[in-house]
Structure 1
């Protein structure tokens, strides 16, 4: 396992980080989830990412139970706050001081830990002054409930503003968690340059484009039974933007590139995001323990400029690059 510094900090995290979005507490049974976490630990993964909204808290509870008994100092545990949780009342959402203060306590209880290594703003809250949000995060850090602060799916301007306030308050905002893959590169033109300037790293989600980059979805063919594209709980909605014959045909052209490197297509996809030197880690989930070990093999793989060029040529114009998509896909008002 390769370990990388997270932003301009002394914290190292595993380049393959285990994430339990869409799986723990919803898609897979708890015993399978425990097996997946055990497989992650056995594979050298030390970093685990979750959020209070995943399965409305159940994902944090499952992860906390799975990690119980492990040496806490040897782990890096991340969670997030923003989306509606609990009974989803009028203050059970957003990045207000009230919601952050209450949410961190709930997360720590479910995770069975005294602190998280990284506490992340799951989205930008357009209805709370940024000063209030950052003051609330600073209080969480000073209370020892979180060591570092991060954000998810913030624009470059939002990142700069948040980082400046964090610095004034004496806390470290060191990470950004955006969607990033061969097919979805919207962070490259603005977010990544801003992050390099600020000393912020990316912890990227969906490096395999919700499974599309595994090559299992074939153009003009029925969807595989039990796949994410058939999951009515949220997976199908997330993946639909990639489920066109044009995209799927282009993805199939990656198969010989992966084969030449003796990699699976999934491993190639993960290695590709890790080739960006601003990426500290790729978030990888699993519904079966064996998937974890396979994905870990992408750690430490070096892709030559020639290989990167072949990938770009294979995918052509189906790649989404517009930095404005971060704003388009973000909530403009608090969800209810």
Structure 2
């Protein structure tokens, strides 16, 4: 395993990490979760990502139970939660968003579910138009000073909103966000590569990127239809299916154009796509999702592909998805 600092902080995360989105509590039960986390930790993964909204808190509870079962040394791993959407169906205004009340209460609830004394990373899952950014920054600062959170960040915030958070933090001597969690993959690049570009140097921010395989599209498994056991086939994720496949044939054609490159290397397309994400030095970690240990093993092996992608090959990959 390789490790990278989160921006200019001293926190080092494994370049491949493991997230619970969609899978935990839906596709993955306790025994499978135990196998997946044990495998990941054994392979050097030290960051496990979660959120209040994942299966309405069930994903966090499952992860917390398994981490307690496995008895990993607490200083050997980092765990995150994210706040915004709430952890119940049809949440009341006080049960969602980024108000001081919900940010702090959601943190306490995540600590209980994950069975830890503090969160290593705590993300604002989306921007909240109903709450002043200054209020959210102050709430995060409170949690850090209380020792309940070590670092905080944003997820899918605009660069403008992130700048405002840093301005508030600077003027009030608050702890500022150090990391953004955006979608990033071969088919979704502009925000990380263009919009956020000024933020890395100006504020020393890192990124914990999600959906490196575009919800499975970059594995090639949707080239000829949707397998019944795939995440976009799960009930309640019709919106994700539309997001992945609802943009016409063009995206599938790009995936098909990448396949010969993977074949020449003798690797799986998923491994090539994951390794490509790590070519970006501003990617602190690539978050993997898996429901089977065989799948996770193969995705972790993407690290072996990384040194094989030279400048010429990188250019070919880029041309394939233009």
In structure 2, the residue matched to 1:327 is none
In structure 2, the residue matched to 1:331 is none
In structure 2, the residue matched to 1:334 is none
Deviation at 1:304, TM superposition (A): 1.6
Deviation at 1:262, TM superposition (A): 3.0
1:106 aligns with 2:109: yes
Cα deviation, 1:154-178, whole Å, max 9, x if unaligned, reads: 1111111112323443424210000
Deviation at 1:233, TM superposition (A): 2.1
Structural mapping, 1:46-57, within 5 Å: 46-57=46-57
Q: Quick one: distance in 1 between partners of 2:294 and 2:229?
A: 17
- For the residue of structure 1 that corresponds to 2:95, the secondary structure is coil
**Among 308, 312, 323, which residue is 2:318 paired with?**
312
1:288 aligns with 2:289: no
Q: Quick one: distance in 1 between partners of 2:229 and 2:277?
A: 26
In structure 1, the residue matched to 2:6 is 6
Deviation at 1:238, TM superposition (A): 1.5
Q: Which has the higher contact order (CA 8 A, sep 6+)?
A: 1
1:75 aligns with 2:77: yes
- For the residue of structure 2 that corresponds to 1:297, the secondary structure is helix
Cα deviation, 1:161-220, whole Å, max 9, x if unaligned, reads: 1123234434242100001100011212111332332100111100000000001112xx
Q: Quick one: distance in 2 between partners of 1:138 and 1:89?
A: 25
Of Structure 1 and Structure 2, the greater helix share is in 2
1:133 aligns with 2:139: no
1:29 aligns with 2:32: no
1:211 aligns with 2:216: yes
Provide the TM-score with structure 1 as the length reference: 0.89
In structure 2, the residue matched to 1:275 is 279
- For the residue of structure 2 that corresponds to 1:64, the secondary structure is helix
Structural mapping, 1:167-206, within 5 Å: 167=170, 168-187=172-191, 188-206=193-211
Q: Quick one: distance in 2 between partners of 1:239 and 1:307?
A: 30
Cα deviation, 1:237-296, whole Å, max 9, x if unaligned, reads: 224334232221221111121122332111111111111111001110111012111111
Deviation at 1:228, TM superposition (A): 2.4
In structure 2, the residue matched to 1:86 is 88
- For the residue of structure 1 that corresponds to 2:218, the secondary structure is helix
1:263 aligns with 2:281: no
Gaps spanning 5+ residues in structure 2: where? none
Provide the TM-score with structure 2 as the length reference: 0.93
Q: Quick one: distance in 1 between partners of 2:176 and 2:2?
A: 23
Cα deviation, 1:45-72, whole Å, max 9, x if unaligned, reads: 1111000110111111111111111100
Cα deviation, 1:57-99, whole Å, max 9, x if unaligned, reads: 1111111111111100111111110112236222000010110
Aligned-pair Cα RMSD in Å: 1.5
Q: Quick one: distance in 1 between partners of 2:222 and 2:145?
A: 47
Q: Quick one: distance in 2 between partners of 1:298 and 1:56?
A: 31
Task: Answer whether contact 2:137 2:174 (CA < 8 A) is retained.
Answer: no
Cα deviation, 1:119-167, whole Å, max 9, x if unaligned, reads: 1100111111111111100000011000011100011111111123234
Deviation at 1:36, TM superposition (A): 1.2
In structure 2, the residue matched to 1:326 is none
- For the residue of structure 2 that corresponds to 1:209, the secondary structure is coil
